[in-house]
């Protein structure tokens, strides 16, 4: 079964497709740069009012009421503490850990329009212990510190009460003779959420990508990849090639990677379930595409002689599968932990994240990705010699593959496949690039009509030309000459072992 990239008459089409790929990728980066900001400060208490503190007393800080919608997806709260006006000037007020009890309420108004009252219902409670650091003793405030994440928005109106059970434990002792009833310290809070404009932007792009993938797969009349494979198999009786099987698997994985349940994640109460499905789908897709690239470059490297010398046996698969599967599993575990651990910020930044609970996973993931990149570099360098004998269209696919591979691995490093994006450019650029790449594979490896080939005629690429088992009419010889790239025999039975 001849792929489009191997057919001389299709080389112009493949080159045009490669140029379109690069132009589309640059356009996606531009769109991402102009997209709405991912995050927004939903509400900030910027008042300078100090909290009243009395010796051996409890302190309560009440955050103003605020409202959110489901399109905010989630929110988290930060707090910072500072000295009271005129007190403790020139000293650092916080010297040890700070203990807080945070009570979250939902609220609504009830009663007649001219005499409504606010009703509070407790939603959740958090106990937070945070080590404070004030780099500048003369600063009005210490740094903001993280309190909690609410990983779904199940109410529209919230109110938060923060209680400091025993400030005497962490505040500097007031000098004797000072007025203990005066203001001693103050607090400012900040609530950050996902920007609703970005939420709508993300939903739109994910569905555009998903439906485009389905179109690439199932467009009728032999245009779509699946329909072309089915038609060609019916016409010739030949089985799918190794790379056509890979393309089919990646297309199906891409459909799930494009998150068909993103609408349900935002607008229903099943956010956690759909997030888990997406994390699983993203991990499987990353595993498959990383494995494909190892196979792709390994096969190309093996084409250094006049004939194929590849054995896809246990020695071929085991090291590749073990490494890529370990990367996928580690990524899945890390993403799941961050997604469902409410005491940590959602702003997960991959292997650069400094949260102690994820250091082991981050270090392990970084080590495995480094090994993978080194493997890719070695295979890429050792296959460069083969590029002298292949067509320009295949060289273009090779370059696109290396570009996509590099960007995709960087995406794992920076957690670009986490359910919540932290950068519009990363979301549009990396997700869009992977979609473009798989669509390009579908176009390049789609079978084309070869009237001269029957049930027993199997084209096999040898260097820059093609050998055909069986009798081939002369008037169809131009369809099979100077075939670039590779084509596996239908039975995939090779000799030799190459990793």
> Encoding tokens for residue 447?
């079978």
Residue 265 CA to residue 278 CA, distance in Å, equals: 10
* pLDDT, the chain, mean: 74
What is the C-alpha separation between 157 and 123, in angstroms, rounded? 11
What pLDDT score does 207 carry?
96
Dihedrals phi, psi of 393, to nearest 5 degrees = -65, -35
Structure tokens at 119: 């009703």
What is the band of 356 on the pLDDT scale with cuts at 50, 70, 90? low
Question: Which residues make up the CATH 1.20.1070 domain(s) of the chain?
Answer: 4-37+197-479
**At residue 422, does pLDDT exceed 60?**
yes
Picking from 61-70, 205-214, 338-347, which range would have the lowest pLDDT averaged per residue?
Answer: 338-347
User: What is the distance between the alpha carbons of residues 310 and 241, in angstroms, rounded to a whole number?
Assistant: 14
Mean pLDDT within 96-106: 76
Per the model's pLDDT, the better-predicted residue between 98 and 429 turns out to be 429
**CA 91/CA 121 separation, integer angstroms:** 40
The count of residues in the chain is 499
In CATH terms, the fold of domain 4-37+197-479 is Rhopdopsin 7-helix transmembrane proteins (1.20.1070)
More confident position, 44 or 277: 277
Q: Six-digit token pair at 470?
A: 């069986």
The CATH fold assigned to 43-192 is Jelly Rolls (2.60.120)
Which tokens in the block code for residue 146? 């993280």
CB 181 within 8 A of CB 54: yes
Residues of the chain with CATH 2.60.120: 43-192
Q: In the prediction, which pLDDT does 302 show?
A: 64
Distance CA 393, CA 391 (A): 5
Confidence class for position 376, pLDDT limits 50, 70, 90? very high
Average pLDDT over residues 118-122: 75
Q: Which residue has the higher pLDDT, 371 or 454?
A: 371
Residue of higher predicted confidence among 103 and 45: 103
Write out the DSSP string of 168-233.
GGTBPPPPTTS-TTSEEEEEEEEEEEE-HHHHHHHHHHHHHHHHHHHHHHH-TTTTSHHHHHHHHH
What residue ranges in 411-464 does DSSP mark as E strands? 458-462
Range picked from 162-166, 172-176, 308-312 for highest mean pLDDT = 162-166
Confidence bin at 51 (pLDDT 50/70/90)? low
How far apart are alpha carbons 215 and 197 in whole angstroms? 27
Distance between alpha carbon 59 and the CA centroid of its chain, in Å?
Answer: 42
Task: Give CA–CA dist 286/350, Å, rounded.
Answer: 15
pLDDT at 231 over 60: yes
End-to-end CA, the chain: 25
Tokens standing for residue 358: 């994820």
């Amino acid at each position: 079964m001849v792929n489009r990239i191997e057919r001389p008459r299709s080389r112009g089409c493949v080159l045009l497709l490669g140029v379109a790929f690069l132009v589309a990728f640059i356009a996606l980066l531009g769109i991402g740069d102009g997209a709405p900001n991912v995050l927004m400060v939903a509400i900030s208490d910027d008042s300078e009012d100090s909290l009243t503190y009395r010796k051996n007393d409890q302190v309560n800080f009440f955050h103003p009421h605020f409202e959110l919608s489901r399109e905010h997806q989630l929110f988290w709260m930060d707090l910072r503490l500072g000295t009271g006006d005129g007190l403790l000037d020139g000293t650092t007020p916080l010297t040890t850990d700070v203990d807080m009890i945070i009570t979250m309420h939902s609220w609504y108004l009830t009663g007649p329009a001219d005499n409504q009252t606010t009703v509070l219902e407790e939603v959740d409670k958090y106990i937070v212990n945070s080590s404070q650091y004030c780099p500048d003793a003369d600063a009005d405030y210490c740094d903001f510190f993280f309190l909690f994440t609410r990983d779904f928005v199940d109410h529209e109106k919230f109110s938060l009460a923060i209680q400091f059970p025993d400030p005497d434990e962490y505040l500097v002792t007031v000098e004797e003779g000072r007025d203990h009833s005066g203001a001693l310290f103050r607090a400012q809070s900040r609530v950050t959420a996902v920007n609703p404009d970005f939420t709508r932007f993300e939903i739109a792009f994910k569905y555009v990508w998903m439906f485009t993938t389905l179109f690439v797969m199932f467009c009728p009349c032999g245009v779509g990849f699946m329909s072309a494979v089915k038609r060609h198999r019916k016409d010739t009786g030949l089985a799918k090639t190794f790379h056509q099987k890979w393309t089919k698997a990646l297309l199906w994985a891409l459909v799930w990677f494009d998150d068909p349940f993103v609408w349900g994640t935002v607008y229903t109460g099943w956010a956690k379930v759909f997030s888990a499905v997406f994390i699983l789908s993203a991990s499987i897709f990353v595993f498959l595409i990383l494995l494909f690239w190892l196979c792709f470059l390994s096969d190309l490297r093996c084409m250094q002689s006049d004939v194929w010398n590849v054995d896809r046996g246990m020695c071929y698969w085991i090291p590749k599968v073990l490494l890529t599967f370990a990367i996928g599993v580690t990524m899945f575990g890390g993403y799941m932990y961050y997604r469902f651990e409410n005491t940590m910020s959602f702003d997960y930044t991959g292997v650069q994240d400094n949260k102690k609970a994820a250091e082991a996973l981050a270090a392990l993931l970084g080590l495995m990705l480094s090994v993978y990149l080194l493997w890719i570099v070695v295979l890429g360098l050792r296959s460069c010699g083969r590029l002298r004998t292949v067509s320009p269209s295949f060289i273009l696919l090779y370059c696109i593959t290396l570009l996509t591979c590099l960007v995709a691995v960087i995406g794992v490093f920076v957690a670009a496949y986490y359910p919540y994006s932290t950068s519009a450019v990363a979301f549009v650029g990396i997700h869009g690039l992977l979609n473009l790449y798989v669509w390009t594979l579908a176009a390049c490896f789609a079978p084309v009509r070869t009237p001269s080939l029957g049930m027993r005629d199997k084209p096999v690429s040898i260097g820059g030309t093609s050998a055909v088992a069986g009798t081939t009419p002369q008037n169809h010889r131009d369809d099979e000459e100077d075939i670039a790239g590779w084509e596996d025999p239908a039975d995939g039975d090779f000799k030799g072992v190459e990793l």
